[in-house]
Structure 1
Amino acid sequence: MSQTLEAQQRVPVHMAGLRLDQAAAELFADFSRERLKAWIKEGALTLDGNPAKPKDKVYGGESLALSAVIEDDARFEPEDIPLNVVYEDDEVLVIDKPPGLVVHPAAGNPDGTLLNGLLHHCPDLAAVPRAGIVHRLDKDTSGLMVVAKTLTAQTALVEQLQARTVSREYDAVVVGVMTAGGTVDAPIGRHPRDRKRQAVNASGKPAVTHYRVVERFRAHTHVRCRLETGRTHQIRVHLAHLRYPLIGDPVYGGRLKLPAGAGETLKEVLREFPRQALHARKLAFVHPGSGETLSFRAPLPDDLLMLLDFLRDDSETMR
Structure 2
Amino acid sequence: MAASRSEPDFDAPIPIEYVGQRLDRALAALLPDYSRSRLQRWLADGNLTVDGETPPAKTPVVGGEQVRLILPSEPDRADVQPERIALNIIYEDDAIIVLDKPAGLVMHPGAGNPDGTLQNALVAHDESMAALPRAGIVHRLDKDTSGILVVARTFAAHKKLVDDLAARTVKREYEAVAIGVMTAGGHVDANIDRHPVDRKRMAVREFGREAITHYRVIKRYRAHTHVRCSLETGRTHQIRVHLSHIRYPLLGDATYGRRLSLPRDSSDDFTDALRGFKRQALHARTLGLTHPVTGEQMSWQAPRPADFKALLAALAADAKLHDIT
Whole-angstrom distance in 2 between the partners of 1:129 and 1:76: 11
Whole-angstrom distance in 2 between the partners of 1:244 and 1:93: 34
1:26 matched to which residue of 2?
none
Q: Is this contact kept in 2: 1:94–1:146, CA < 8 A?
A: yes
Do the aligned partners of residues 41 and 142 (structure 1) sit closer, same or farther apart at CA in structure 2, a change above 3 Å counting?
A: same
Mapped pair 1:106 → 2:110: yes
Encode CA deviations 1:154-192: one digit per residue, 9 max, x unaligned. Answer: 000000011111000000001000010001000000111
Encode CA deviations 1:25-72: one digit per residue, 9 max, x unaligned. Answer: xxxxx99x9x8996585597x9x9616xxxxxxxxxxxxxxx884226
Secondary structure at the aligned position of 2:262 is classed as coil
1:318 matched to which residue of 2?
322
2:148 matched to which residue of 1?
144
Match of 2:260 among 256, 262, 280: 256
267-276 vs 171-180, which moves further? 267-276
Q: Which has the larger radius of gyration?
A: 2
1:55 matched to which residue of 2?
none
2:58 matched to which residue of 1?
50
One-letter amino acid matched to 1:237: V
262-271 vs 238-247, which moves further? 262-271
Secondary structure at the aligned position of 2:177 is classed as strand
Mapped pair 1:277 → 2:285: no
- Listed as ranges, the matches of 1:41-190 within 5 Å are 50=58, 69-71=71-73, 73-190=77-194
Encode CA deviations 1:194-228: one digit per residue, 9 max, x unaligned. Answer: 11100110011000000000000000000000000
Q: Is this contact kept in 1: 2:84–2:125, CA < 8 A?
A: yes
Q: Is this contact kept in 2: 1:136–1:145, CA < 8 A?
A: yes
One-letter amino acid matched to 2:256: Y
Whole-angstrom distance in 2 between the partners of 1:97 and 1:309: 22
Compute the displacement of 1:74 (Å).
2.8
Secondary structure at the aligned position of 2:91 is classed as strand
Q: Is this contact kept in 2: 1:175–1:245, CA < 8 A?
A: yes
Q: Is this contact kept in 2: 1:245–1:252, CA < 8 A?
A: yes
Q: Is this contact kept in 2: 1:173–1:222, CA < 8 A?
A: yes
Secondary structure at the aligned position of 1:310 is classed as helix
Secondary structure at the aligned position of 1:254 is classed as coil
Do the aligned partners of residues 240 and 68 (structure 1) sit closer, same or farther apart at CA in structure 2, a change above 3 Å counting?
A: farther
Gaps of at least 5 residues in structure 2 are 11-33, 49-53, 60-68
Compute the displacement of 1:261 (Å).
1.5
Whole-angstrom distance in 2 between the partners of 1:116 and 1:225: 29
Match of 2:293 among 270, 279, 289: 289
Compute the displacement of 1:248 (Å).
0.4
Do the aligned partners of residues 195 and 68 (structure 1) sit closer, same or farther apart at CA in structure 2, a change above 3 Å counting?
A: farther
Q: Is this contact kept in 1: 2:40–2:57, CA < 8 A?
A: no
RMSD: 2.6
Q: Is this contact kept in 2: 1:132–1:154, CA < 8 A?
A: yes
256-265 vs 83-92, which moves further? 256-265
1:224 matched to which residue of 2?
228
Mapped pair 1:305 → 2:309: yes
Do the aligned partners of residues 252 and 106 (structure 1) sit closer, same or farther apart at CA in structure 2, a change above 3 Å counting?
A: same
One-letter amino acid matched to 1:110: P
Whole-angstrom distance in 2 between the partners of 1:250 and 1:221: 18
Whole-angstrom distance in 2 between the partners of 1:36 and 1:221: 47
Q: Is this contact kept in 2: 1:4–1:70, CA < 8 A?
A: no
Compute the displacement of 1:129 (Å).
1.6
Gaps of at least 5 residues in structure 1 are 6-29, 52-66
Whole-angstrom distance in 1 between the partners of 2:236 and 2:78: 27
Q: Is this contact kept in 2: 1:183–1:210, CA < 8 A?
A: yes
Whole-angstrom distance in 2 between the partners of 1:4 and 1:107: 34
Q: Is this contact kept in 2: 1:39–1:68, CA < 8 A?
A: no
TM-score by length of 1: 0.81
Secondary structure at the aligned position of 1:70 is classed as coil
Secondary structure at the aligned position of 2:72 is classed as strand
Do the aligned partners of residues 123 and 41 (structure 1) sit closer, same or farther apart at CA in structure 2, a change above 3 Å counting?
A: closer
Encode CA deviations 1:214-244: one digit per residue, 9 max, x unaligned. Answer: 0000000000000000000000000000100
89-98 vs 253-262, which moves further? 253-262
Secondary structure at the aligned position of 1:71 is classed as coil
